[in-house]
Chains A and B, each alone.
Chain A
């Protein structure tokens, strides 16, 4: 006997062995269907007694095992059921013949046999035969169970008769010696008459009867017989047979004591339940079944893998419990305790071990013992038995037997909870399937067995189990197993499977792979994927489903961030509805509950929005853990919510790179909520969908962004070169485009801006606004001006269309304010007095007091650069535009154009002063002009003659001009005769007298500025650089200080003096005749807001000798006709008063009239400048002389 039955368990000893075999050609599927039906009847309650008969069905049984039937009767084939198909009556004899030959094989042991014929109909089928049953087809065999039961009953009758026969037989003289096959030759020539021999025969027979009793369901009798057998055989040292009854005894006892144990257990648990009940004062009595049920469950839990296959086991235990107690009590006497069972097993196995040929018996005994121990939950003892079983040598085994043996060992280890050991043996079995000695290696079987070991290595093929948390299990052995799986699946011819396992290996074991292994694994993965690319689909095998393995570690993603659109493309909401954001559910501005909620939210809602049709970006920080360059292809975004066109990127990460930013882009094709869940990659030919929630480095599950309906896109180009300097934007403003321009101060330049709609939606609305970014420079006037009308007429701008827009840039900066310059100019030390002017009098006298205005020495280059300072102005031009569906949703876009203007100083006025002109209505404005350019420039006021200034010169020119004339002076002083200003239209401080001082000062400043603007516009000074053909305005606003302004202001009291009817305001001398009275009229016009006067004026004539001597004593030469004192009554606001008199010049000559106010103290409250009366120059001539001229 060489083939062990690993499925054997202790209870098999009480069963009858029936072989069910196909005869002739029976379809396998149909055969097993029938086999199943037959095998269902494995336990028969005999009608006339309480005994139960157990049947063991086999469809295959080696006949050499049958030869051991005398040793242990349950090994005997006692029944044969043949299944055959016979469609034709012709074939019937042949089939019948086959059945009989089949019977022959087991003829020595067979009690009875049956033949089930399928498909045969007709007369043969009609003939009733006891051992043959006919069925028309495989589906119509309802009576088959009945037939089987009848068959078993017939078996029982034979068994019972044999039992009775043998048990009564003992008194006979000659007892046949039962022996196992290998013993037969040993007993040849042995003295059959010896006492020893007889005892042995008796003992063996006793054991045999015990077996029969057991099979016949008479447990009690069996026990008695076994005990007797043990006594007999021990005395004759028949160890093999001794071992067996012992063994059987234990097995039996095993069973019965199993039952007993269970019974006891149930009682125990019941008691404990009662105790529990008592303590909790519950009156109920638990049904006694509860406890037993618990035990049963525990029992079935002990052998999870077995429950399916071994219904009988469970049935047995259930049965045991329900067995009547009287039998149990009787049994208990002969029964072995659970501990004894193991001891006896050990003993029996050690006896079996003495016989080389009883290896199978020993092995089976071990297996049975382990099964018993597994129920007893004695894993350690069981493992010892198994360990022993490992060493049992069964001689030369075929590969198939080896596989079977390892598998069964593995199963048994599983049974006792040694999963690692089980996995080890399973793996050995798997390896055995494909040993090189096998011609046709069973890769499929190998693979299947390997899959079964996964549990033992605490490895699951679901990558999710590894994605978070620490690694479980033993990496070295897990890796080995995965490698083997890969290899097996490849040899199976399933590359998809190999790819899946290999990517799993790479994904989960990355941390444990050495650099060399990483290279090898990825190399082989690439080789596999060349044949079969890795996908994200589930690979289905008949018994397992392999989930897709996303390679989230190639590359490792550390963070994912959604990027806002570039500032020029961001959609902005027109804020017409108040508090759109504050309309959240809570009435509180802040609540800790809400705040808490937000932090919990794993799916982050993003503040900004994306726009339909515009490329949006997600930035990932990735790194490559591999020791070589990693090529990632088709890296794209995975989104849900809206239609999305992902634009995949390919990247190549250097070996063991640091964090590396990768931007994934895509275009949302519809609007709505978009969820960014993860990304897609293709590495080594494996496509992976990596979800953010599965990444250990990323905290969020995904992001949600709102996608706004499409908006137009505007592109701006300017006629100017792009700015080299980047503008420093103000907070919140971002510059899309920028232009830079260089200007001389005061110059006007036009900038053409090209607006192009490069989007897909028409541009419907457009607004433009400008903002200066640096306001530290004081600007005179607006420096950006435009006319929007023309542009707006071109709207709506269809996609692809272009519109133009003109922007005027004119900078009026005040360079003269530069402190340093003035300082320099003053400290220069080279005080240059103005040359005498070929013009009005009193100039000389003034010039000394007029200060040391200086001009810059052109050689002084070092300081010159300071004045040549370029000032920079920056402004942002905002284009707010909208259109398309986004417009109707209330979104717009803002495009900013940065404007960088470098302003070079052109001319500026370093100093300004005034000189009174001859007329009180006019005055001279003296301007020191500085040309800070490197070019010659001309300067003109009111389009008059030009003043040429050489490069870098500071010239003080004094051009005294009337309103139409410019005089110029090479020294660069410019004087302009201007009419005094009235500033009537300016707001009066009286209106705001009640204001506080702060406001008043501010108001004063504003007024002063307004005056300066008016003066500037009147002056209209222009400069021109002929060489560059550039021109612009020069601005005097900055230099017009308060004093100068006052000087330029027309006094509110105007005094007009008419001599001989002619106004003498100018330097013109009035001619008159000697001896004739000359009328003198003084007119006061009050333009102030108050009443002035009364005044008294005295007219004093005098003569100027032009040498500083005034002769006031002219009583002999001039006579006043009437009083020489004028009295002026109080003059109300905006009224005038005229008083007149006359003078008589007695001699010819030049006379001046000094009109003086009588008393100084009466008009103290009014400024002195209000009482500036023009001096009168009269030229009295003889009539004759007069005619001469």
Chain B
């Protein structure tokens, strides 16, 4: 009952989503504002905004917990941030504290941890490319088409 609040409106079309890898990909700046967010059922974007936004609590908690111990060999991948009724939220933090958040459908059991990791790695590489663009000002919203295409690629069906 409460979980339905977490996902304020339930997207009914489970069938379509099941085959997708990620339903939402977000890049969040060091100062915790979104640099990029893309969701697959675009009509319900705000829901994902809330999901990703609240996941930042966990990200911060994890960073602060790990950060003290080993700054150098810190694992960038944060793992599952929290599961909701419908989705699983995974996090990843670069060394510059830029956060990547991927939301996948809970029903997508086929998705392994390794695959999530590789998705993040891909995302990180692509983000690095964006940052290498001399015409991109760090802190601006990412509008790169290449990046967008890459993210779209993550969201298409697996098989």
- B-contacting residues of A (Cβ < 8 Å)? 379-380, 383, 387, 390-391, 393, 405-406, 409, 413, 417-421, 424-425, 428, 457-458, 470-477, 480
Contact = CB atoms under 8 A, between A and B. Distances in A.
B136 interface: no
Interface of B: prevailing SS: helix
Contacts of A406: 2, 5
A405 B5 CA distance: 12
A474 B34 contact: yes
Given A428-B5, A476-B49, A470 B139 contact: yes
Given A418-B58, A470-B31, 11 more contacts: A387-B83, A391-B3, A406-B2, A417-B61, A424-B50, A425-B5, A428-B5, A458-B32, A475-B34, A476-B34, A477-B49
3 A-B pairs with least C-beta separation:
A418-B57, A390-B2, A476-B49
B57 A419 contact: yes
A472 B82 contact: no
Contacts of A473: 32-33
A471 B57 contact: no
B49 A474 contact: yes
B106 interface: no
B44 interface: no
B79 to A, nearest CB: 11
Interface in B45-98: 45-46, 49-50, 53-54, 56-58, 61-62, 65, 82-83
Given A473-B32, A474-B34, A420 B54 contact: yes
Nearest to A425: B5
Contacts of B45: 476
Nearest to B45: A476
A420 B2 CA distance: 17
A417 B60 CA distance: 10
B6 A390 contact: yes
Contacts of A471: 33
Given A379-B61, A458-B32, A474 B3 contact: no
Contacts of A428: 5, 8
Interface in B1-48: 1-3, 5-6, 8, 31-34, 37, 45-46
B57 A472 contact: no
A417 B57 contact: yes
Contacts of B31: 470, 472
Contact of A424 (B32, B46, B54): B54
A476 B48 CA distance: 10
Interface string B142-153: 000000000000
B91 to A, nearest CB: 13
A527 B144 CA distance: 39
5 contacts: A417-B57, A418-B58, A418-B61, A424-B50, A457-B53
Contacts of B58: 380, 383, 418
Most B-side CB within 10 Å, residue of A425, A471, A477 = A477
Most A-side CB within 10 Å, residue of B1, B31, B62 = B1
B140 to A, nearest CB: 10
B53 A477 contact: yes
B49 A380 contact: no
Nearest to B85: A391
Contacts of B82: 383, 387
A421 B62 CA distance: 15
A87 to B, nearest CB: 49
A474 B32 CA distance: 7
Most B-side CB within 10 Å, residue of A380, A420, A475 = A420
A420 B34 CA distance: 14
Given A472-B33, A474-B33, A474-B34, A421 B57 contact: yes
Nearest to A457: B53
A476 B39 CA distance: 14
A333 to B, nearest CB: 32
B70 to A, nearest CB: 17
Contacts of B6: 390, 424
B65 A380 contact: yes
Contact of A380 (B3, B54, B56, B62): B62
B5 to A, nearest CB: 5
Contacts of A480: 46, 49
Given A383-B58, A418-B61, A458-B32, A474 B53 contact: yes
Most B-side CB within 10 Å, residue of A406, A417, A424, A473 = A424
Nearest to B52: A474
A472 B56 CA distance: 14
A1149 to B, nearest CB: 117
A383 B89 CA distance: 14
A14 B156 CA distance: 57
Contacts of A425: 5
Nearest to A377: B65
B146 to A, nearest CB: 24
A390 B83 CA distance: 12
A398 B137 CA distance: 51
A477 B33 CA distance: 10
Contacts of A405: 2
Most A-side CB within 10 Å, residue of B6, B33, B34, B65 = B33
A393 B3 CA distance: 11
Contact of A477 (B3, B5, B50, B57): B50
A428 B2 CA distance: 10
Nearest to B61: A379
A777 to B, nearest CB: 60
A291 to B, nearest CB: 21
A418 B81 CA distance: 13
A391 B2 contact: yes
Nearest to A405: B2
Contacts of A387: 82-83
Nearest to B34: A474
A476 B61 contact: no
A362 to B, nearest CB: 14
Interface in B112-130: none
A474 B5 CA distance: 20
B51 to A, nearest CB: 9
B63 to A, nearest CB: 12
Contacts of A470: 31, 139
A480 B62 CA distance: 27
Contacts of A472: 31-33
Nearest to A474: B53
Nearest to B48: A476
A457 B50 CA distance: 10
Nearest to A416: B61
B148 to A, nearest CB: 18
A862 B1 CA distance: 104
Interface in B96-116: none
Contact of B53 (A379, A380, A391, A420): A420
Contacts of B46: 476-477, 480
Nearest to A428: B5
A298 to B, nearest CB: 16
B54 A421 contact: yes
Contacts of B139: 470
Contacts of A420: 53-54, 56-57
A476 B44 CA distance: 12
A657 B105 CA distance: 46
A458 B83 CA distance: 24
B26 to A, nearest CB: 10
B105 to A, nearest CB: 18
Nearest to A384: B82
Contacts of B83: 387
B99 to A, nearest CB: 12
A409 B33 CA distance: 25
A523 B65 CA distance: 47
A472 B2 CA distance: 29
A1112 to B, nearest CB: 110
Nearest to A396: B1
Most B-side CB within 10 Å, residue of A379, A405, A470 = A379
A697 B3 CA distance: 46
A473 B3 CA distance: 25
Given A424-B54, A472-B31, A477-B53, A393 B1 contact: yes
